[in-house]
């Protein structure tokens, strides 16, 4: 059965919301029935394109990948990251979101930002566009991933994020993603809000969790953030398979009679 916004985001305090990233049709087909939400994250900049920042992912790149992911999602919801743009005005942001939604048929959008997003979320909510807000560590604000900082070490951070999260909830956000923050901050925000929180590096107290799929599967990055648990080591498996293929080709064992047309 196809998941709906209501069936997924009304789970607060009932059942955890399971999310993972995907950037392709084939991978989405693999995970589709195992997760609630597939996020077409701008993390593709790092994972697929070798960029040091998510800022280099533009709207057209997002459209290309989100379209492919949506085609592969029969059961899960598909949200896309709104890419970084220097023009963060309300009118431009709304126009970009609606354009990407129309081109991809995604189920919702995730947007990084604080209370400056309240009017954007209000407008999109009226247009029936579900918005997942994104607080805490916001990668688009950094020119390099090497400069990322854990959120919550400043004494004012708790009051600020509580105020911001309540504002965005009131504006119509269906959920809030909390990234890279101290446990007590994430716990307090989750307890305060009526809508669910999705955590990434924000402790088990969130109502759901998301990871970059390549990180949790052991693909690509050597230096993983502390919050990543590797559930597989696919890099090793891929190297073993490619090495075996190479050896068989060199030793004339592949292709053989079984794999040829006579």
Active site residue 179: yes
Cβ neighbours of residue 140 under 8 Å, at least 6 residues apart? 42, 54, 55, 84, 112
Q: Write the DSSP assignment of 169-196 as a string of letters.
A: HHHT-SEEEEESB-HHHHHHHHHH-SS-
Q: Are 168 and 115 in contact (CB under 8 A)?
A: yes
Residue bearing tokens 């609606």: 98
Q: Calculate the CA dihedral of residues 125, 102, 36, 26 and round it to 10 degrees.
A: -170
Of these residues, 112, 116, 169, 179, which one is catalytic? 179
User: Encoding tokens for residue 185?
Assistant: 């901050």
Which helix (H) or strand (E) element contains residue 13? none
As annotated, the active-site residues are: 179
């Amino acid at each position: 059965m196809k998941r709906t916004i209501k069936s997924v985001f009304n789970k607060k305090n009932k059942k955890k919301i399971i999310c993972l990233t995907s950037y392709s049709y084939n991978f989405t087909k693999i995970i589709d029935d195992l997760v609630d939400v597939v996020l077409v994250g701008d993390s593709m900049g790092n994972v697929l394109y070798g960029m040091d920042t998510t800022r280099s992912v533009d709207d057209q790149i997002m459209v290309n990948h989100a379209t492919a992911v949506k085609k592969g999602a029969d059961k899960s919801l598909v949200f896309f990251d709104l890419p970084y743009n220097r023009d963060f005005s309300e009118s431009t942001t709304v126009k970009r979101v609606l354009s990407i939604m129309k081109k991809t048929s995604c189920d919702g959008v995730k947007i990084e930002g604080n209370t400056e997003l309240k009017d954007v979320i209000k407008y999109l909510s009226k247009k029936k566009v579900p918005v997942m807000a994104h607080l805490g560590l916001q990668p688009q604000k950094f020119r390099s991933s090497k400069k990322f900082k854990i959120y919550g070490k400043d004494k004012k951070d708790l009051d600020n994020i509580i105020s911001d999260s309540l504002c965005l909830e009131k504006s119509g956000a269906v959920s809030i993603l909390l990234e890279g923050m101290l446990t007590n901050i994430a716990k307090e925000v989750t307890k305060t809000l009526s809508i669910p929180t999705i955590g990434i590096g924000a402790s088990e107290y969130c109502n759901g969790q998301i990871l970059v799929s390549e990180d949790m599967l052991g693909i690509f990055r050597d230096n993983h953030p502390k919050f990543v648990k590797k559930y597989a080591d696919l890099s090793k498996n891929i190297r073993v398979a490619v090495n075996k293929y190479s050896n068989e080709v060199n030793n004339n064992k592949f292709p053989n009679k079984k794999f040829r047309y006579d």
